[in-house]
Amino acid sequence: MKKVFYLLIVMFGLISCSTDDDYCGNDYYETYKLNEQRPLPTSNLQVIGLQGDSFTVIRSENEFQARVKGAVYYRGQIDWRNEDLIIGQVYVNGFRSVINFNSIFKESCNNRNDNYLRMKLNLSNGQYNGYITYHAIVRKLYNTNTQVTTDIEIFN
C-alpha cells in the first residue's frame, strides 16, 4: 500500500509540474495571420489605448471586439480557446503601403522568461508617415510576458 501511495505521489508530481507542450521551449515557429478583409486591411486596425510603438496580447473575442477598431470584419477567425493575438503598432517614415508582413515566435515555458516575437514588415517607398498595425496569432500563451522586435524594410 505504501508503494502505491508513493507511486501516485510521484506520478501526480510529474503531471502537475509539466508546462511543456509542442511549442514551449522550442525554437522559433511561424505564426498565423488574420485573413485580409475588405474594406479594412489588418495594417489599418486600431488598438484602443496603445500609445507609441507598443503592443498588447488579446486573449478573447470580447476583448478583441472591444479594444480593436475594425475587429468586426475579422470576427470568428481566431480560435480563442487555443490561440491568442499579439497586436501592436510601429511608427514608420516614408512609406506608401504594406506589401506584406511575416512573424516568428518563440514561447517561454515559465513566468521568469519572456516570449519573443520577431515581426518583419515589407513596405513600399512613399511619402506617408504614420503608424502601421501588425499582428500575430500564436498558440494560447502560458506566459504573456513578450518582447517584440520589428524589422522594417522599405522597397522602391
Q: Residue 112: what pLDDT?
A: 73
Of 113 and 40, more confident = 40
Model confidence pLDDT, tens digit, residues 44-82: 999 999 999 999 999 999 999 999 999 999 999 999 999
Q: Residue 109: what pLDDT?
A: 77
Domain ranges of the chain: 23-155
Q: What is the pTM of this model?
A: 0.83
Nearest to 156 by CA among 117, 106, 122, 112: 122
Computed over every residue of the chain, the mean pLDDT equals 88
DSSP letter string, the chain:
-HHHHHHHHHHHHHHHH----SSTTS--EEPB-PPPBTTB-GGG-EETT--SSEEEEE-SHHHHHHHEETGGGGTT-S-TTTEEEEEEEEEEEEEEEEEEEEEEEE--SSTTS-EEEEEEEEEEEEEEEEEEEEEEEEEPPS---EEEEEEEEEE-
Model confidence pLDDT, tens digit, residues 143-152: 899 999 999 9
Q: Residue 23: what pLDDT?
A: 57
Q: Which pLDDT band, with edges at 50, 70 and 90, does 1 fall under?
A: low
Q: Residue 18: what pLDDT?
A: 43
Q: Residue 19: what pLDDT?
A: 44
Model confidence pLDDT, tens digit, residues 7-16: 545 554 444 4
